[in-house]
């Protein structure tokens, strides 16, 4: 605890106190014109001050102007297809540049680590950037597919648009507003609990920050942050239209378009339609599974006498058509931006996801007898104003709102599935509304950022009987409001010609819970507060080589019911004395938020001129206050209704556990290294989990047990090779290996083999699997034809046992660039 308070003290000192000790000085103004080798003006050239990523871009006439922090600052000029140039600025004035054509890897600028632009080589945090090229070349139908194939995350994914991820050993989650990975769109809450509903058509890049970030972003940022950066196109009008056909009746079509309408007014718009009209087939050939003997799962039976391991053949459904897997969806987005003057601009945008009659197949153990269906409707919108108050002070204000609606239907079928009936069973709506304000002050080469965030989430639940009549709101899933208000401060100090970068920050968060009462249960309220510090250092020890390390805490808000809920279930009525007996579920007002404290350290190598990027990072997380259930039998207490309590069910915080692992990223572009006019890139990234544990209640066991974290693979690897001749041909071959994972064996727990009702519980350890993809595209002038093959070796695999994924599949797409 003493260490925690010392961390807060030093975070505050570095954030607020230390920059105040540094004398401010006037910034210098630099301007000029950027041209190509033929002397033509070159627009949209990035010009930044080296290390701190503050800068501008050249306009259509090649002209630029910007302020720099001091004499001797270095400006970096970069543009795709040209070699980067660095120029030292002795004083303000005019600097004209001629860009030389050539292939070179560009330095990546990221925003998620500090809420402002920074070069990735100068931030202490571990960040994975998924650019537009990766998005286009990866065989993926939604955001979860993209992340699992590029970012080394753990996944739970079901057929029928339901999925979620976990980072650094935390269990993946796909529902609820209190997850352990924070999802953002342009730095604000995405307004989505299900990653499958995020449109990728309007995305410029995705930044995956690994490690806690609650000191900047608040709740949910325990394992990491996924920040989706949308397109902001300016200049002349450009875009693309596309149409495609594929396996299992897949059709796709849409467009994206953006640019300036007039000199100060720009826009982006996109639309995508995706339909899979036929049920898909599971993998049949299983070349990799059979070659490496990955056919068996391991069932762990928990009984009163302990546990027993049993090998289970896991080849169910090879080559079968999976009924009830067809669906379709539509996404659209639009943005309008206006440059008020040379200091301020405002952007307004919105996006929509809509899917109706999405079929869900149920567990493969039930064959085709437990299907479901749902409708999904999600939208979000925001208004963002950003500008400079002075030459060294930036300010950003955001307002956002979002809504996610899911309507579920029960589907009844007979043994032959020839008779099918559907009726509404539940409707859930989540609504987000909030705002953000941030100010960023530059003091020489250093920065101080302060800000306030407010997010309010409202949940409305309805359930229906088989006649379509709405039931009373369940106390186990009540309607509620949850409001989070956070204030934060962060300092960024840059020393020794930007070779030493130090960050520190702290955030205070207030959470207000309000359970909305009904005639069956009373309204309840609860408030809690939490403080999260962070600190990091990045030190360049050699040219292109840096050491980086961070310390940070994270937290996830407990659910409303766990902290403020109450419900009763009658189990007996004593006719003799008229006193009922009930089981009670009651929230624990003293429940603490789930918290984590993480230390990581690594080494990074980035050499843009040789095309090499590498990073190896070790992380260790203490995970505390995981919420588990607790039961007290016959507590000699009376329920709120006056009935005697048989079982008093509540919640408590478990003891701490550890999450430890090693992450690595490597890419090498041989085309750049050999100074060729093409790109030939080898790449690999992965996570090796040394330890990932959680404490869980196990039926028939006398006390909670410390066990392996569910749905977290012991090793995850993404790898591949890509080629682009930068003229007419590009291709990518990629693979994904997922090691063994633990989970609850629900198909056994609910099966006849278990003599359902006896209550024997089983865990299951999944077998490992590997899936390969291949994509190729050919361009001629403005036309492009692309072929994408997913699951090349036709593996029968799953992300969640019982919900097997699509076998080998093809997509042929035509793209018109304009």
121: three-class secondary structure by DSSP: helix
Residue 458 inside a domain? The answer is yes
CA-CA distance, 639 to 650, in Å (whole number)? 13
Kind of pairing between the strands at 809-817 and 74-78 = unpaired
Residues paired with residue 109 on neighbouring β-strands, in sequence order: 119
DSSP code for 707 = E
Count CB neighbours of 572 within 10 A. 13
Listed residue (398, 366, 494, 505) closest to 442, CA to CA: 494
CB 395 within 8 A of CB 384: no
DSSP code for 590 = T
Which is higher by pLDDT, 718 or 81? 718
Residue 574 has pLDDT above 60, yes or no: no
DSSP code for 749 = H
Name the token pair of 58.
Answer: 């050249």
The pLDDT, as a whole number, for residue 755 is 47
CA-CA distance, 777 to 786, in Å (whole number)? 4
Task: Supply the DSSP string of 600-638, one letter for each residue.
Answer: EEEEEEEETTTTEEEEEEEEEEEEE--EEEEEEES-S-B
Name the token pair of 670.
Answer: 């041989």
What percent of the chain lies above the pLDDT cut of 90?
Answer: 60
* 590 contacts: CB under 8 Å, gap ≥ 6: none
Residue 183 inside a domain? The answer is no
CB 685 within 8 A of CB 208: no
Which is higher by pLDDT, 603 or 471? 603
Residue 617 has pLDDT above 90, yes or no: yes
687: three-class secondary structure by DSSP: strand
Q: What is the pLDDT of residues 513-555, one digit of tens each?
A: 888 877 666 777 888 899 999 999 999 999 999 999 999 999 9
CA-CA distance, 184 to 187, in Å (whole number)? 5
Which is higher by pLDDT, 329 or 83? 329
Which of 70, 102, 134 is the last residue before a domain boundary? 102
Residue 596 has pLDDT above 70, yes or no: yes
Residue 258 inside a domain? The answer is yes
Residue 352 has pLDDT above 80, yes or no: yes
Q: What is the pLDDT of residues 229-242, one digit of tens each?
A: 999 998 889 999 99
Residue 218 inside a domain? The answer is no
Residue 7 has pLDDT above 60, yes or no: no
Q: Mean pLDDT throughout 322-341?
A: 96
The pLDDT, as a whole number, for residue 773 is 98
The pLDDT, as a whole number, for residue 184 is 96
Buried b (16+ CB within 10 A) or exposed e, 370-394: bbbbbbbbbbbbbebbebeeeebeb
Buried b (16+ CB within 10 A) or exposed e, 554-571: bbbbbbbbbbbbbbbeee
59: domain CATH number is 2.60.40.1120
Residue 17 inside a domain? The answer is yes
* 741 contacts: CB under 8 Å, gap ≥ 6: 154, 710, 711, 712, 713, 714, 765, 766
> pLDDT grade, residue 419 (50/70/90)?
low
Q: What is the pLDDT of residues 759-814, one digit of tens each?
A: 467 889 999 999 999 999 999 999 999 999 999 999 999 999 999 999 999 999 99
When computed from its CA atoms, the radius of gyration of the chain, rounded to whole angstroms, is: 28
Which of 102, 120, 143 is the last residue before a domain boundary? 102
CA-CA distance, 695 to 698, in Å (whole number)? 9
Distance of CA 28 to the CA centre of its chain: 39
> HSE-up of 519 (CA within 13 Å, CB side)?
2
Q: What is the pLDDT of residues 391-400, one digit of tens each?
A: 889 999 999 9
Residue 121 inside a domain? The answer is no
Task: State which H helix or E strand residue 192 sits in.
Answer: none
Instruction: Report residue 594: phi and psi, to 5°.
Output: -65, 130
Number of structural domains (the chain) is: 2
DSSP code for 197 = G
613: domain CATH number is 2.40.170.20
Q: What is the pLDDT of residues 222-277, one digit of tens each?
A: 999 999 999 999 888 999 999 999 999 999 999 999 999 999 999 999 999 999 99
Q: Which segment of 608-617, 644-653, 779-788 scores lowest on mean pLDDT?
A: 644-653
> pLDDT grade, residue 381 (50/70/90)?
very high
Count CB neighbours of 48 within 10 A. 22
Residue 493 inside a domain? The answer is yes
The range of the structural domain enclosing residue 714 comes to 238-558+593-625+656-817
CA-CA distance, 438 to 812, in Å (whole number)? 45
Which of 75, 102, 129 is the last residue before a domain boundary? 102
């Amino acid at each position: 605890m003493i260490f925690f308070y010392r961390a807060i003290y030093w975070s505050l000192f570095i954030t607020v106190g230390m920059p105040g000790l540094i004398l401010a000085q006037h910034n210098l103004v630099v301007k000029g014109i950027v041209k190509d080798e033929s002397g033509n003006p070159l627009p949209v050239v990035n010009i930044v001050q080296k290390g701190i990523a503050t800068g501008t871009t050249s306009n259509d006439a090649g002209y630029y102007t910007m302020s720099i922090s001091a004499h001797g600052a270095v400006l970096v000029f970069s543009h795709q297809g040209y070699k980067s140039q660095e120029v030292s600025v002795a004083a303000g004035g005019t600097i004209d540049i001629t860009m030389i054509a050539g292939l070179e890897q560009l330095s990546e600028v990221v925003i998620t680590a500090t809420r402002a632009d920074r070069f990735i080589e100068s931030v202490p945090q571990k960040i994975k950037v998924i650019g537009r090229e990766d998005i286009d070349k990866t065989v993926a139908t939604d955001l979860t597919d993209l992340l699992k194939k590029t970012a080394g995350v753990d996944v739970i994914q079901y057929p029928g648009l339901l999925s979620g991820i976990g980072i650094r050993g935390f269990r993946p989650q796909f529902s609820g507003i209190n997850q352990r990975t924070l999802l953002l769109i342009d730095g604000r809450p995405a307004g989505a609990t299900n990653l499958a509903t995020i449109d990728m058509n309007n995305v410029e890049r995705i930044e995956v920050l690994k490690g806690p970030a609650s000191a900047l972003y608040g709740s949910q940022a325990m394992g990491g942050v996924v920040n989706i950066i949308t397109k902001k196109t300016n200049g002349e009008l450009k875009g693309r239209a596309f149409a495609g056909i594929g396996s299992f009746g897949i059709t796709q079509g849409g467009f994206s378009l953006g640019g300036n309408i007039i000199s100060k007014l720009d826009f982006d718009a996109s639309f995508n339609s995706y339909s899979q009209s036929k049920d898909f087939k599971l993998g049949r050939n299983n070349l990799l599974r059979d070659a490496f003997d990955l056919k068996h799962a391991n069932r762990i039976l928990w009984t009163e006498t302990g546990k027993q391991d049993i090998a289970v053949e896991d080849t169910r459904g090879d080559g079968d058509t999976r009924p009830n897997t067809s669906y379709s969806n539509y996404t659209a987005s639009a943005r309008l931006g206006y440059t008020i003057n040379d200091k301020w601009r405002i952007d307004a945008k919105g996006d929509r996801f809509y899917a109706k009659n999405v079929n869900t197949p149920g567990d493969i153990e039930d064959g085709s007898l437990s299907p479901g269906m749902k409708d999904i409707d999600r939208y979000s919108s925001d208004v963002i104003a950003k500008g400079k108050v002075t030459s060294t002070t930036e300010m950003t204000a955001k307002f956002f709102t979002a809504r996610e609606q899911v309507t579920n239907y029960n589907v009844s079928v007979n043994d032959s599935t020839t008779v099918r009936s559907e009726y509404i069973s539940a409707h859930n709506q989540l609504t987000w509304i909030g705002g953000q304000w941030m100010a960023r002050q530059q003091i020489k080469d250093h920065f101080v950022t302060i800000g306030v965030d407010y997010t309010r989430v409202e949940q409305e639940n309805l359930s229906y009987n088989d006649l379509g009549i709405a039931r009373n709101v369940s106390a186990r899933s009540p309607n509620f409001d949850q409001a989070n208000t956070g204030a934060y401060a962060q300092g960024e100090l840059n020393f020794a010609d930007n070779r030493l970068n130090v960050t520190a920050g702290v955030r205070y968060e207030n959470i207000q819970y309000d359970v909305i009462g009904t005639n069956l249960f009373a309204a309840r309220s609860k408030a809690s507060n939490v403080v999260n510090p962070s600190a990091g250092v990045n030190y360049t020890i050699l040219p292109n080589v840096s050491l980086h390390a961070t310390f940070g805490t994270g937290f996830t808000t407990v659910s409303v019911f766990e902290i403020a809920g109450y419900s009763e279930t009658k189990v007996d009525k004593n006719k003799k004395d008229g006193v009922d007996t009930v089981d009670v579920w009651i929230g624990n007002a003293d429940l603490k938020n789930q918290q984590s404290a993480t230390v990581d350290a690594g080494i990074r190598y980035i050499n843009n001129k040789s095309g090499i990027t590498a990073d190896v990072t070790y992380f260790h997380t203490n995970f505390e206050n995981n919420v588990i259930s607790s039961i007290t039998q016959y507590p000699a207490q009376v329920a709120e209704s006056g009935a005697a309590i048989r079982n008093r069910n509540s919640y408590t915080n478990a003891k701490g556990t550890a999450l430890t692992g090693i992450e690595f990223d490597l890419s090498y572009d041989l085309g750049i290294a050999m100074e060729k006019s093409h790109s030939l890139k080898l790449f690999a990234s992965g996570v090796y989990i040394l330890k990932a544990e959680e404490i869980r209640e196990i039926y028939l066991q006398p006390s909670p047990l410390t066990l392996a974290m569910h749905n977290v693979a012991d090793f995850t690897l993404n790898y591949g090779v890509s080629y682009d001749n930068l003229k007419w041909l590009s291709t990518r071959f990629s693979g994904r290996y997922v090691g063994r994972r633990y989970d609850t064996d629900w198909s056994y727990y609910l099966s006849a083999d278990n003599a359902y009702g006896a209550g024997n519980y089983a865990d299951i350890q999944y077998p490992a699997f590997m899936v390969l993809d291949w994509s190729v595209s050919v361009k001629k002038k403005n036309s492009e034809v692309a072929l994408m093959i997913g699951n090349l070796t036709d593996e029968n695999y799953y992300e969640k046992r019982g919900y097997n994924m699509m076998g080998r599949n093809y997509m042929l797409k035509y793209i018109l660039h304009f």
